[in-house]
């Protein structure tokens, strides 16, 4: 990891979400709600981490959206695009009682997955939890992925990623890992 990336990770982790588990890039599982975007040409990524305890999907969702690290993003969204959110709303989203949260709306939900779409329709965020079978100690694999749907500028007929996205891709990858690590820490990894 470049030195700037390490410094950024240390700075953001100073917010209190210390890493305890290894987050790795991985393939989207069969049946992943995010898969349709990857299969249609969107840029999609997927990261996973195993935690040594049973974690429900609801607990994972609430933890993910309530970490100190994610609260920085929530504050930015409240300030920049007037899309505020609270921990109580994160809990309601996790329990299936709310279909909008900050800048996102629920696009799909199953017992073990949540797919969110941003208010502009360009990005998707996806969370999934699955029990780890065959392990000596019961555990849960937590997944986090996202997709960026390419824009088709008027008259061009071709899809393309924007300049800002291309510039921020490295940060996005680091930030995705940090978000998943923070959530794993919050559920007791």
Identify whether 78 is part of a domain.
Answer: yes
Identify whether 4 is part of a domain.
Answer: no
Write down the pLDDT at residue 162.
59
Identify whether 39 is part of a domain.
Answer: yes
Question: CB of 130 within 8 A of CB of 32?
Answer: no
Domain with 179 in it: what CATH number?
3.30.530
Identify whether 19 is part of a domain.
Answer: no
The number of angstroms, rounded, from the C-alpha of 103 to the middle of its chain's C-alpha atoms is: 13
Q: How many domains does the chain have?
A: 1
Write down the pLDDT at residue 75.
95
Write down the pLDDT at residue 166.
60
Identify whether 8 is part of a domain.
Answer: no
Identify whether 108 is part of a domain.
Answer: yes
Q: Can you give the residue range of the structural domain that contains 48?
A: 26-151+160-186
Q: Contacts for 133-140 with beta carbons within 8 Å, 24 or more apart?
A: 137/52, 138/52, 138/53, 138/54, 139/50, 139/51, 139/52, 139/53, 139/54, 140/50, 140/51, 140/53, 140/54, 140/55, 140/60, 140/187
Write down the pLDDT at residue 109.
98
Q: Phi and psi dihedrals of 86, rounded to 5?
A: -130, 165
Q: What tens-digit pLDDT sequence spans the chain (189 residues)?
A: 455 445 444 444 444 444 446 999 999 999 999 999 999 888 899 999 999 999 999 999 999 999 999 999 999 999 999 999 999 999 999 999 999 999 999 999 999 999 999 999 989 999 999 999 876 777 999 999 999 887 654 555 555 555 555 666 778 889 999 999 999 999 986
Write down the pLDDT at residue 12.
43
Write down the pLDDT at residue 1.
47
pTM: 0.82
Identify whether 176 is part of a domain.
Answer: yes
């Amino acid at each position: 990891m470049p030195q700037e990336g390490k410094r950024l990770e240390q700075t953001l982790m100073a917010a209190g979400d210390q890493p305890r588990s290894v987050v790795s890039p991985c393939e989207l599982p069969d049946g992943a709600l995010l898969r349709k975007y990857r299969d249609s040409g969107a840029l999609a990524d997927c990261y996973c981490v195993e935690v040594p305890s049973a974690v429900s999907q609801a607990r994972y969702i609430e933890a993910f959206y309530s970490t100190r690290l994610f609260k920085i993003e929530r504050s930015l969204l409240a300030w920049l695009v007037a899309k505020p959110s609270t921990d109580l709303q994160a809990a309601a989203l996790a329990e299936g009682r709310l279909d909008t949260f900050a800048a996102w709306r629920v696009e799909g939900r199953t017992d073990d997955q949540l797919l969110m779409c941003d208010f502009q329709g360009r990005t998707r965020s996806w969370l999934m939890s699955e029990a780890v079978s065959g392990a000596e100690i019961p555990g849960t694999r937590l997944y986090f992925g996202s997709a960026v749907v390419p824009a088709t500028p008027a008259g061009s007929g071709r899809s393309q990623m924007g300049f800002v996205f291309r510039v921020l891709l490295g940060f996005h990858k680091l930030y995705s890992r940090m978000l998943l690590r923070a959530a794993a820490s919050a559920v007791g990894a």
